[in-house]
Amino acid sequence: MEGQRREKPPIQPGTFKRLLGVILAHYKVHMIVVVICIIISALASTVATVFMQRLIDEVITPGISLGLSAVWQQLVSILGTMAIFYCFGVIASFTYNRIMATITQGTLKNLRNGMFNRMEALPIGYFDTHAHGDIMSNYTNDTDAIRQMIGQSLPMLIQSGLSVISMFIMMLYYSIWLTVTVWIFIGIMLTITKKFAGASAKYMMEQQKSLARVEGFIEEMMEGQKVVKVFCHEEESKEDLRKLNEQLFSDGERAHQAGNVLMPILHNVGNLMYVLLAIVGGILVLIGAPNLGFSGGGTITAGIIISFLGMSRQLSQTIGQMSMQVSMVAMALAGAARVFALMDEEPEADEGYVTLVRAKWNDKGELEETDNQHGIWAWKHPHKADGTITYTELKGDVVFEHVDFGYVPGKEVLHDISLYAKPGQKIAFVGATGAGKTTITNLINRFYDIPDGKIRYDGINITKIKKPDLRRSLGIVLQDVNLFTGTVMENIRYGRLDATDEECIVAAKLANAHSFITRLPEGYNTMLTGNGASLSQGQRQLISIARAAVADPPVMILDEATSSIDTRTEALVQEGMDNLMLGRTVFVIAHRLSTIRNSKAIMVLDHGRIIERGDHEELLAAKGTYYQLYTGAFELE
């Protein structure tokens, strides 16, 4: 069952540094080229003002007094140089945008791989306590926010920052007084940006959280659409979505109101600065004010004023562009914090060192490891004390010794469970929902580790066995079948990826699935989508049994595998499971007691304790809880 949704973790100071580290780890050379191209592009856009000043002061103002030939020569020289700079700027801009596309998509690919690799290493308990829709949001909303920052905001901020610096230097070069005038207005613009962009960033993060809730809810509704319709809760579902959507609207409205108001305000402040500069500059030109810039004296000219006006316009636009990226960067960093939070989750611990290998009997009657893939399975057990290695044949002998367990510390769901299953025996668990039946099978798989007691597998404490090897030796058929997008053959082969087509067909025949599969439109090559939605529940369960059969494990776990199947189909599924169980150690959880009559031992559980045990005849003769359950005096639910 899904737990509460994760709140967005706070943005840590090192989030941007870590994200940058992910980029540079794979694209360091690319980023160096990008920065160089951005510098060229920023300089190309800035130096145009220099040529504008030269054009006015050296060509337009002197006019024909220079002589027609000199005017044309000077004009061609200035315009030609401007064209060269602009060409460099266009080439640099084109180059870095192409490279940034590679960096952006490559970084997202690496982040998705990192998240998925860590997700696959997480314990089952993580998925029991985290909403699946919220986890999915890491791969969609959060990575998309990161994409916008890397592909758009980051290059724009770098280029805008370099443009601001270069324009500031150029302004000081021409006139200190006019520069001071400009930066008074720039200070006002930055103050306004801090106020509105900060608010926009805050609401953008809230919007992202609300979006994750909406997407999570829609995903749940899609998965549970049958339940919604059965209970006629369409209107209630609409109302629940309306509330979530209303919150998303509210957060988005506030975020975009703050962001959308910012640009018009900055634009008008820029216009005021433009007008004031024109007035001040005109007065300075008229009075022949000295040029107190770093250019080395002289008076302020019309060319300098026009260049200043162009730079001020460009500067206000640049700051406006930078301000619009603040909320985007904040949202991306919030998304990156969530992505890194998933990647930093503690992986499933595994201290095991006993592995599963292929082995054969040698002339001395001892097991030894072999490369023959058709050899018997054995546990390879290194002994740390003396450095020796022993091999134990995999048989499926499972023993529980005084096992206590609780999903939450202090709240035990299993109390002093002791039982054994010899190779080839069928052990059944019965009891009301919540009695602890499924928990026992989860412990055999080591989906959860026990605080007290021991579980031995072929005489080996399962904590010593590597989890992948332990689970490879176990087969499981669940009540809720999960089929993946792919052909029927691929879904059966999921039990053992190196299985041949012939082995998969043999497994399907064993599971009683071959007959209906051959009647499908394309037989074993029929494509399944939507968790096998085109198949009946019984057909899906038969494929699940075939998948377990092709794995050929010595131990099988059948968790209420027939509880949701009609009686007619159950006979077919039960026959398939009987074929599968032949010669294996089997743990069965069943609500239909008729399916477990032939079990070697039946364990009756109540509130995490085994209250009765024995075979079918013994438990009926005892006339206890099992007798009452079997005769209908009690209901399992």
Residue with tokens 């801090």: 194
Whose CA is closest to 561, among 547, 549, 544?
544
**53 has pLDDT over 70:** no
Q: What is the pLDDT of residues 446-466, one digit of tens each?
A: 888 888 899 999 999 999 999
Q: What is the pLDDT of residues 259-306, one digit of tens each?
A: 667 777 777 787 788 888 888 777 877 777 666 655 555 677 777 787
Between CA 24 and CA 314 the distance in angstroms is 31
The helix/strand/coil state of 475 is: strand
List the Cα angle 622/628/634 in 5-degree steps: 155
List the Cα angle 245/249/252 in 5-degree steps: 135
8-state DSSP, 371: S
Kindly report the number of other CB atoms within 10 A of residue 63's CB atom. Answer: 8
Kindly report the number of other CB atoms within 10 A of residue 232's CB atom. Answer: 8
Between CA 583 and CA 419 the distance in angstroms is 20
User: How far is the CA of 260 from the CAs of 60, 174, 266, 331, 462, in angstroms?
Assistant: 41, 35, 11, 16, 61
Amino acid at 21: G
Give the pLDDT band of residue 83 (cuts 50, 70, 90): confident
In this prediction, residue 274 carries a pLDDT of 80
Of the spans 21-35, 226-240, 539-553, 623-637, which averages the highest pLDDT?
21-35
DSSP secondary structure string, 127-159?
HHHS-HHHHHHIIIIIHHHHHHIIIIIHHHHHH
Of the spans 32-36, 349-353, 419-423, 581-585, which averages the highest pLDDT?
32-36
User: How far is the CA of 215 from the CAs of 81, 201, 241, in angstroms?
Assistant: 54, 21, 10
Q: According to the 3-state scheme, what is the secondary structure of 567-627?
A: HHHHHHHHHHHHHHHCCCEEEEECCCHHHHCCCCEEEEEECCEEEEEECHHHHHHHCCHHH
In this prediction, residue 226 carries a pLDDT of 65
Between CA 158 and CA 538 the distance in angstroms is 60
- Segment 69-83 shows an average pLDDT of 77
Q: Are 182 and 277 in contact (CB under 8 A)?
A: yes
Lowest pLDDT segment from 114-128, 191-205, 344-358: 191-205
Q: Are 465 and 354 in contact (CB under 8 A)?
A: yes
Helix (H) or strand (E) holding 466: none
**636 has pLDDT over 50:** no
Judged by phi (left if over 0) then psi (alpha if -120 to 50, else beta), residue 530 lies in: left
- Segment 402-417 shows an average pLDDT of 88
The residue that leads in pLDDT, 540 or 561, is: 540
Average per-residue pLDDT for the chain: 82
Amino acid at 54: R
Residue with tokens 């057909």: 539
Between CA 291 and CA 309 the distance in angstroms is 16
pTM, to two decimals: 0.73
DSSP secondary structure string, 400-461?
EEEEEE-SBTTB-SEEEEEEEE-TT-EEEEE-STTSSHHHHHHHHTTSS--SEEEEEETTEE
Between CA 618 and CA 59 the distance in angstroms is 113
Lowest pLDDT segment from 53-67, 337-351, 509-523: 53-67
The residue that leads in pLDDT, 107 or 512, is: 107
In this prediction, residue 518 carries a pLDDT of 93
Q: What percent of the chain has pLDDT over 70?
A: 87
Kindly report the number of other CB atoms within 10 A of residue 571's CB atom. Answer: 14
Give the pLDDT band of residue 596 (cuts 50, 70, 90): confident
Q: What is the pLDDT of residues 1-50, one digit of tens each?
A: 334 444 445 555 688 899 999 999 999 999 999 999 998 888 887 776 67
Q: Are 545 and 574 in contact (CB under 8 A)?
A: no
Residue with tokens 């050899």: 375
8-state DSSP, 375: S
In this prediction, residue 105 carries a pLDDT of 93
Partners of 417 in beta bridges: 403
In this prediction, residue 523 carries a pLDDT of 92
In this prediction, residue 297 carries a pLDDT of 57
> Backbone phi, then psi, for 419, in 5-degree steps?
-165, 165
> Backbone phi, then psi, for 62, in 5-degree steps?
-65, -35
Q: What is the pLDDT of residues 225-253, one digit of tens each?
A: 766 776 677 888 888 888 888 888 888 87
**489 has pLDDT over 90:** yes
User: How far is the CA of 156 from the CAs of 97, 145, 163, 169, 173, in angstroms?
Assistant: 10, 15, 10, 20, 25
Q: From the centroid of its chain, how far is CA 265?
A: 39
In this prediction, residue 565 carries a pLDDT of 57
Between CA 401 and CA 414 the distance in angstroms is 12
Kindly report the number of other CB atoms within 10 A of residue 205's CB atom. Answer: 22
The helix/strand/coil state of 224 is: coil
In this prediction, residue 525 carries a pLDDT of 93
